[in-house]
Chains A and B, each alone.
Chain A
Amino acid sequence: MRRFLARLANLVRRGTAEREMAREIASHLALIAEGFERAGMPPREAALAARRAYGGVEQSKELHRDARSFVWIEQLLRDVRYAWCNLWRAPGFTMVAVVALALGLGVNLTIFGVYDALILKPLPVADPDRTVRLKRWFQHHPGNDQFHFAPAEYQYLREHSTTLAGIVASYGDLDTGAGGLTVLASFGGSAVREQVRGRAVSANYFAVLGQTAYRGRFFRPEEDRAVGASPVAVLTWGCWQRRFGRDPNAVGRTIALNGLPYTIIGIAPENFTGTDFIPFEFDFWAPLSMIGQLDPALKSSASFQLLGRVKNGVSRGQAQNETSLLLRRYLASAREADPTTAITLERTRYLDPGDAGERAQMQGAAAALWIVVCLVLGAACANVANLLLARGASRQREIGIRLAMGAGPARIVRQLLLESVLLSGLGAVAAVPLSVLSGQSLWGSFNAVFRTINLSMPTPDFRPDSRVLAYGLILAVATGVLFGLAPALRSTRLDLNRAMKGEGPVFGAHFRRSRLRGVLLASQAAVSMLLLLVSGAMMSKLRDATVSNPGFDTRNTYVLVVEGEEQRRVDLWALRDRLARLPEVAATAIGEAPSGNDDGMVPMRAGRWYDRTYASVVSDGYFETTGMRFERGRGFTRQEIESHAAVAIITESTARRCWPNEDALGKTATLTLPGEQSKRQAADFEVVGVVNDVRQADLIHIDPLRVYLPGGLSPNPDIDLMFHIRGNRGQALAAVQSAIERMDRALLPSLKMYSLEDGNLAAIRGIYRVMALVAGVLALLAVTLAVVGIQGVMSFLVSQRTREIGIRVALGATAAVLLRAIVLPGLRPVVVGMGIGFSAAVGLDAWYHSTDLLSEPLLHRVFGTPAVCAEVALMLAVAVLASLVPTRRALGVDPMRALRHE
């Protein structure tokens, strides 16, 4: 240990140590010489004899240096300084390389940064390692209700747990519709009521999660007990900022929620955005005891989401076992349709779809995106590697001398690698702020899309944490080694003689070297082609989503949505009858409105088909309202709705798939519908109508299977009133509004009316637009890198072969001959690369198609369209353009100067 410190000290005091060493050796030599002199040797010879007797002085010095400090560190520092000087001396090259690397590393870091901020970071609570979400497992099926707990279960667990320091319950994000619990609020005593969103939580919520109020206080335990007696609320920071303008006197004021005045007792800190699965913005927290007043539409009893904090000194496994046992003991006496088998304590995440399937989808999308940005980084690396190769050729003399002087090739390779890592380090330093900015803007564009459907998410913390920085560091080093290794190895394999004489390579020598360069160029071209094709496919997807016919009318079909407390009160059917009488309304219906983003599937057995199908519940008049066409049969009748008749209407492709070449009318389909409390029942339905195909599930592909079932009687957050307008839009909407007003004035504030076009469809298209934008940016990046790469390589080729070109011209070569001999071979790798990229895209498409059997293959659409031909042509044009300038230079070579070219 003592020695280690001494060595470390000598590392720093290098100058002093060297002087000391020189002094000692000199004194030793002097003493030896003195001995020889005393024996009679003349001083000159004595000195030489002393040196001989001492042994190699330089070797001794080396040994000494080895013992004195950490030699490899000294060497490293020296190499770093040398590398830095080298880069500084070639600013053009360094600039281009650093920019290319910054771009490549930047997109990679962006994706990882976003992934980290959303998925790897836990919830912004005080003790994230010990804070857990409770999740239950059923015997028969996993589903979305895995995070639902009944109030009585919560009470029991809270009272009996010895391993969890606290368990909190939260209500309002699980099954109360998108955005959560909505109430009508009025601020500051004004009569205007708006919709705000909130959560009901247990009194210990903030304490267990370790939050301190920014202003005011949080709930007290007694405020949780008496039902309906504690109208107090805590505001979120966002609400305080938006609606109160950060008024310091906000605490103590009242807001009326659903008519009842609540006192504001505190404001939450800025970085605490709640514990929802998907962190949408909301405005307040209220105690659990006020649930009944906040959500009158609550059927039977609520489900809570539970979170807990594991006690210090207890492991998560222990806590998990105990909690599981407790719940099973409690439920032993209860009767469950699908018994709970276990509880697990899950780590929290900022964004957590909850459902295992959705989570897998998200991971899959993230992985795919990451692969794409890695490809872009690979293209950037190939670029820089090519540049390095070119530079290596011009540093032959220097390297040759160093090798001749006895430097081991390993040492030189190490030093060159250091230069590469330094380059990528610089690129990484530039990439980090770039990635934060682009992460934020990416988030911003997605959020803008959400805002069109009146939702928004608070911006997550994109500041790079240790994970992101570590990833960046590792990536930078790996990148540096990756693109630096081959050129470094290549540089040291020299013919020393020729290198030292400074001769450039003549006719034959460059063939060997160009293989590597060709490979690099080809890989760049491949990546660019692949990305171009992929982004083209994304754009065509977007175009399809925007242009293709969804199968139903979107402009003139309107949806009427009632939110909040009024939802339970309003009688949609009475409202419907009222509107149906208006001349401006052509048809009305009640049911699940098409949204362009559907994933409610149920298992069905029909004819030869046994699979999951999309299913919607609709009333009579639905098809007239949405402008759909009957191919066969008819729509539902009022009686069928009211009697819950076992009839169904299917789309054309469903009929074609299940009963090909037969008439589907009168056939039976067996569906397994979700019933109460997750009981599943299979029932037979008779087909009474066949309608045209729709693209309801994702706006791009025709729904392969879809059935419509009669219903719409019971209130349900997914069921809305739809109507189809006739004539002038403004007049029709005004008529509808006044009709509602006449019927029930108080309804107006909780009402929302939008056409299908402006509603969810716009949001879905917005998301596709963002995706296409991202793909486009990546493709553009790849193509830019390719252009720079091709241009650099071609320039280099021309400059290397200037002498050859001069000779050819002197011998009478024409421009055509020159092109064929010099330029075209240089472009060959590009064409090869394009071919590889093309086949990669084809392969990718085939694989994608094979894993998703119901979707239409992208293949025939992508490769049948002119878009693909355009992309290929673009790539070729880009390659030709990039080599234009060097080509002209080649053609303009003056043979006399070329022959004298060194």
Chain B
Amino acid sequence: MPSEDAGKIAILPGTLDLIVLRTLKTMGRQHAYAIAARLEQISQDLLQLNQGTLYPALVRLEQQGRIAGAWGRTETNREAKFYSITKTGEKALVEETRRWRQMSGLLEKLLSEGA
């Protein structure tokens, strides 16, 4: 529904992975729902995240070996798959963060110069 989404920011493609990795690094072992909830909380609901799109990103990251998943139980004894960041993931996080900062810095410079 367009009116609802008007105020939200769509996630840039490719950054979802970065966000997930960062979240896992800071929060430790989490399941998918918790990650989504945390994101909503931090972005104060500004982030337009379809919970369904989170899932493919998790699969991707797992295939790349950046996160590892294992089935477990929540506090309320429901089963869920818990993900945690791996060594590979940590290295990738550092690298991706650096690149993001570089790019956004460049973009910032370009945009301010135009003014």
* Contact (A27, B80) CB under 8 Å given A3-B60, A32-B33: yes
- Contact indicator A31/B63 (Cβ below 8 Å): no
Give A27 to B60 CA distance when docked, in angstroms: 19
At the interface, yes or no: B101 with Cβ under 8 Å from chain A?
no
* Contact (A6, B51) CB under 8 Å given A24-B81, A34-B78: no
At the interface, yes or no: B52 with Cβ under 8 Å from chain A?
yes
Enumerate A26-43 residues with CB–CB distance to B below 8 Å. Answer: 27-28, 30-32, 34-35
Among the 9-residue stretches A63-71, A384-392, A761-769, the one with 4 or more Cβ atoms under 8 Å from chain B is A63-71
- Contact indicator A3/B79 (Cβ below 8 Å): no
The smallest beta-carbon distance between B82 and chain A, in angstroms, is 11
User: What are 10 sample pairs from A and B whose C-beta atoms fall under 8 A apart?
Assistant: A7-B63, A25-B55, A27-B78, A28-B31, A31-B31, A31-B74, A54-B52, A63-B53, A67-B57, A67-B60
* Residue on A nearest B81 in the bound complex, by CB: A24
- Contact indicator A3/B63 (Cβ below 8 Å): yes
- Contact indicator B52/A55 (Cβ below 8 Å): yes
At the interface, yes or no: B44 with Cβ under 8 Å from chain A?
no
At the interface, yes or no: A637 with Cβ under 8 Å from chain B?
no
At the interface, yes or no: B56 with Cβ under 8 Å from chain A?
yes
At the interface, yes or no: B37 with Cβ under 8 Å from chain A?
yes
- Contact indicator B51/A64 (Cβ below 8 Å): no
* Contact (A60, B59) CB under 8 Å given A27-B78, A27-B80: no
At the interface, yes or no: B76 with Cβ under 8 Å from chain A?
yes
Report chain A residues within 8 Å CB of B31: 27-28, 31
- Contact indicator A30/B52 (Cβ below 8 Å): no
Number of interface residues of B (CB under 8 A): 22
At the interface, yes or no: A53 with Cβ under 8 Å from chain B?
yes
- Contact indicator B56/A27 (Cβ below 8 Å): no
Cβ-Cβ contact count across A and B, 8 Å cutoff: 66
A-B pairs, 5 with minimum CB distance: A60-B52, A55-B52, A31-B33, A55-B50, A6-B63
At the interface, yes or no: A57 with Cβ under 8 Å from chain B?
yes
- Contact indicator B32/A24 (Cβ below 8 Å): yes
Give A68 to B60 CA distance when docked, in angstroms: 7
Encode B57-83 as 1/0 by CB contact (under 8 A) with A: 101100111000000001010111100
Report chain A residues within 8 Å CB of B79: 27
What would 5 more interface pairs be, CB under 8 Å, given A24-B32, A55-B52? Answer: A6-B63, A24-B55, A32-B33, A60-B55, A67-B56
Give A67 to B33 CA distance when docked, in angstroms: 19
* Contact (A63, B80) CB under 8 Å given A6-B63, A35-B37, A53-B51: no
At the interface, yes or no: A59 with Cβ under 8 Å from chain B?
yes
Report chain A residues within 8 Å CB of B51: 28, 32, 53-55
* Contact (A64, B56) CB under 8 Å given A31-B80, A53-B51: yes
* Residue on B nearest A24 in the bound complex, by CB: B81
- Contact indicator B63/A2 (Cβ below 8 Å): yes
Report chain A residues within 8 Å CB of B74: 31
Enumerate A801-829 residues with CB–CB distance to B below 8 Å. Answer: none
Enumerate A440-473 residues with CB–CB distance to B below 8 Å. Answer: none
Give A528 to B46 CA distance when docked, in angstroms: 72
* Residue on A nearest B74 in the bound complex, by CB: A31
B residues at A contact (CB < 8 Å): 31-33, 37, 50-53, 55-57, 59-60, 63-65, 74, 76, 78-81
Report chain A residues within 8 Å CB of B56: 60, 63-64, 66-67
Report chain B residues within 8 Å CB of A30: 78
Report chain B residues within 8 Å CB of A67: 56-57, 59-60, 63
- Contact indicator A57/B52 (Cβ below 8 Å): yes
* Residue on B nearest A60 in the bound complex, by CB: B52
Partner of B64 from the list A2, A27, A31, A32 (CB cut-off 8 Å) is A2
Enumerate A49-87 residues with CB–CB distance to B below 8 Å. Answer: 53-57, 59-60, 63-64, 66-68
Question: Taking chain A's interface residues, is the majority helix, strand, or loop, or is none over half, making it mixed?
Answer: helix
Report chain B residues within 8 Å CB of A34: 76, 78
* Contact (A28, B32) CB under 8 Å given A35-B37, A55-B50, A57-B52: yes
Give A30 to B76 CA distance when docked, in angstroms: 11
Enumerate A1-30 residues with CB–CB distance to B below 8 Å. Answer: 2-3, 6-7, 24-25, 27-28, 30
The smallest beta-carbon distance between A110 and chain B, in angstroms, is 49
Give A24 to B57 CA distance when docked, in angstroms: 13
- Contact indicator B59/A64 (Cβ below 8 Å): yes
Give A68 to B64 CA distance when docked, in angstroms: 11
Partner of B52 from the list A7, A31, A59, A66 (CB cut-off 8 Å) is A59
Report chain A residues within 8 Å CB of B76: 34
Give A24 to B83 CA distance when docked, in angstroms: 12
* Contact (A56, B55) CB under 8 Å given A31-B33, A31-B78: no
- Contact indicator B64/A3 (Cβ below 8 Å): yes
Report chain B residues within 8 Å CB of A56: 52
Give A232 to B55 CA distance when docked, in angstroms: 82
Residue with the greatest number of chain A CB neighbours at <10 A, chosen from B37, B55, B64, B79: B55
* Residue on B nearest A26 in the bound complex, by CB: B79
Give A55 to B80 CA distance when docked, in angstroms: 19
Give A34 to B31 CA distance when docked, in angstroms: 14
* Residue on B nearest A20 in the bound complex, by CB: B81
Report chain A residues within 8 Å CB of B33: 28, 31-32, 35
* Residue on B nearest A4 in the bound complex, by CB: B63
Give A441 to B56 CA distance when docked, in angstroms: 60
Report chain A residues within 8 Å CB of B60: 3, 67
Give A63 to B16 CA distance when docked, in angstroms: 14
Give A59 to B60 CA distance when docked, in angstroms: 17
Report chain A residues within 8 Å CB of B32: 24, 28
Give A54 to B76 CA distance when docked, in angstroms: 20
* Residue on B nearest A3 in the bound complex, by CB: B63
Report chain B residues within 8 Å CB of A64: 55-56, 59
Give A2 to B65 CA distance when docked, in angstroms: 8
- Contact indicator A63/B63 (Cβ below 8 Å): no
The smallest beta-carbon distance between B55 and chain A, in angstroms, is 6
Give A845 to B99 CA distance when docked, in angstroms: 72
Partner of A28 from the list B50, B57, B80 (CB cut-off 8 Å) is B80
Give A7 to B62 CA distance when docked, in angstroms: 11
Give A54 to B54 CA distance when docked, in angstroms: 10
Report chain B residues within 8 Å CB of A28: 31-33, 51, 55, 80
Report chain A residues within 8 Å CB of B78: 27, 30-31, 34
Report chain A residues within 8 Å CB of B80: 27-28, 31
Report chain B residues within 8 Å CB of A60: 50, 52-53, 55-56
Encode A719-746 as 1/0 by CB contact (under 8 A) with B: 0000000000000000000000000000
Report chain B residues within 8 Å CB of A32: 33, 51
Give A31 to B72 CA distance when docked, in angstroms: 13
Give A837 to B98 CA distance when docked, in angstroms: 72
